[in-house]
Structure 1
Amino acid sequence: MEGKKRKEKQYFVGVRLTEEQRKLLSQIQEDAGLSKTEILLRGLELLSEYYSLGLDKPLLSTELKRLEEEALRHAEALKRIRRREEALKEIVRELRDIDRIVDKYDGKPEALIQILLDIQAKYRWISKPSLIWVSERLGIPVSRIYQISTFYKAFSLTPQGRHRVRVCLGTACHVRGGPQIMEAAERLLGVKDGEVTPDGRFTLERVNCLGCCALGPVVVIGNEYYGGVKPADLEKILSKYE
């Protein structure tokens, strides 16, 4: 069309180039100080070397793939080893903390419950290594410590979130919408009763009675009580806790 400048086509040795390719070629020419012909010849030489080494052969490609997979497996194995090492270091740190707690009570067997309470307060649960170590330090059978740990609700033998969310489903709370509150909590937190959120923020629990039936339905987070809760209120309540 007259009046319009015809767009110039860009070619390189008979091959049409895109604008991006043209710019890249110009940059290579400028950086290397080579002509288009010299660049083409060098490219052909490299391609010839590539084929002479057999890099295009399926067998070699398969072998390279196998080596890559072996390397990945090796890397994963190293990660597992490091994870085990970190776990062992964590246990050692935990047992040292427990030593300090036991020493605070002069290693007296009669201080068992207080020692367990201190461990629970520090870690939010009592691990198996902790039970065994307390048993060794106090000279009390592990079975006895286990009985006490499972009898009292204050103790947990499974990891707990930073904040304990308890939803009352006792009779008074149940008839006022307790089950709907529990469903909303499960949906918002993405966990079921007794589970911990992946980020470790919350543990969700259903309880039969919290002793404040007149306030139902009731949700307790830590030591804070929320009465007359509606499902729509939960998200705002939970957002207060980090």
Structure 2
Amino acid sequence: MNTPAMRRYLLINPNTNALTTQRLRDVLLPQLPPGVQLDVQTARFGAPYIACEASHAVAAHACLDLWTSHRGTPEQALHGVLIGCFGDPGLFALREASGCPVTGLAEASFIQAAAHGPFAIVTGGERWKPMLQRLATSLGYGAQLRHIETVAPTGAALQADPKMAIECLSQACQNAAQSGVASIILGGAGLAGYARLLQAHCDLPLIDSAQAGWEVLLQQQAPAAPSKHDGFYAPWVGLPPDFMGVPTRG
């Protein structure tokens, strides 16, 4: 009897904070279905938390860097890639280059929230508001995103102080609920698992961005040997060997 092949997924934390990576592992690994492997990796360079345009841009490069070194072979191909940041750095580049499905915490959350109707976002870091509005618009969810409630502490600060996070995020969710939305996304890899803790404090459905990312990725169909279709459209100069090893298309 032939044993079904293991389905291999890659989860990339685009910041350099190992505690964020561990939180993603703690929340998602216990939920793996049989026959599924999730490889969770931390960015090899960049910022310890992503909270501005520059750190977001570098994080996109860090995502590509990890993908090139963990994409596998046709015999051990990736079946999907999840960008573990609520901002999805590198989403479009990875989707273009990879032969397997790619999504991010923000896009996946938008998909789930939009099923309820108009939605709001609660997240840490005040500079995220225009960045998330732009991302939602580029993904086709701009009209349904009605409100973004940012709290002053960054996602990293919230992660480091759970008691403060519960108090701060609870008030933020109550504020967001007053905007006439049908659901609220609790966005941020460092906030994985908090939606369940906060649900008792909010009458609207709370969507955990990490949970949403994993659920949406698993629902997508992948080719049997996706890495055969990986490829960039330009040759590289001065980048690591793993970049050079990805085929060039066209």
Instruction: Answer whether TM exceeds 0.5 for this pair.
Output: no
Normalised to the residue count of structure 1, the TM-score between the two structures is: 0.25
Higher strand fraction: Structure 1 or Structure 2? 2
Indicate the structure (1 or 2) with the bigger Cα radius of gyration: 1
TM-score by length of 2: 0.25
